[in-house]
Amino acid sequence: MQFTSEQRVDDGVLEREFTLGEIPGALWTPESPTPAPLILMAHNNGLPKGASRLVARARHTAAYGYAVASIDAPGCGDRPRSAADEQARADIRRAMQAGEPVDEIFESFIGPLVEKAVPEWQTTLDALLTLPEIGGPVGYSGWTAVGIRLAVVEPRIAAAGFFAGGYVPHAQREEARQVGIPLLFLLQWDDEGNPRQRALDLFDAFGTKEKTLHANLGGHTGTPWFEVEDGGRFFGRHLK
């Protein structure tokens, strides 16, 4: 892991960008005399690590005493896109503008992205846990499809907060039954791109005995800011 930049931001949080092989990432760490618990933070459907909403959540979460890390998924953010990626994104835009069904396109696009992204998150986790300023346990926050797979295959993940707004492929909907860690699931009740019943069915499918659903009125990007603070309390119960 090679750090390429650093700056101090609000509340003394240290914000650093890094590269790990081909993986670009960002790390936020609090001022702390002891190693901080770690939260892996992924934006829905692979939006970049530099997205303003993710950066704001990461800085706020780090100020509460957590190390927070995010990476760009393959074909997202600073990483080059293949011709197939570009075609899939163009097909999604065209179908949405025309009011046509998009699930089949999302399935063919998001499924392979999950398969590529999860091993990279595990590689990143390996490297992060060697840093002296980071300790366990580890939480996950954000992109549901990747989070489900990580919760199933990665025993170091102790708790997770998922956002219901991203498309979840059929494979991960089935894997949800194997998720056994404490879970907080955020749903925007009027999300124009995510059928409410499908999100509720997914919540019902999670196998964990400790799961909480927070539903708020509003569209896809309207998640209230207080959910960040509620998420902090959730992770505080399980990571501190």
What average pLDDT values come out for the chain (240 residues) when binned by 10 residues? 94 94 95 94 76 89 95 83 81 84 84 92 97 94 95 97 91 96 95 88 97 93 89 93
Q: How large is the angle between the packed helices 144-153 and 103-128, nearest 10 degrees? A: 50
pLDDT at res. 82: 80
pLDDT at res. 83: 82
**Alpha-carbon distance 31 to 65, whole Å?**
8
Close Cβ partners of 12 (under 8 Å, ≥ 6 residues apart): 30, 31, 63
Sign of the alpha-carbon dihedral angle for 46, 52, 57, 58: positive
pLDDT at res. 46: 61
pLDDT at res. 156: 96
pLDDT at res. 45: 61
Contact 166, 144 (CB under 8 A): yes
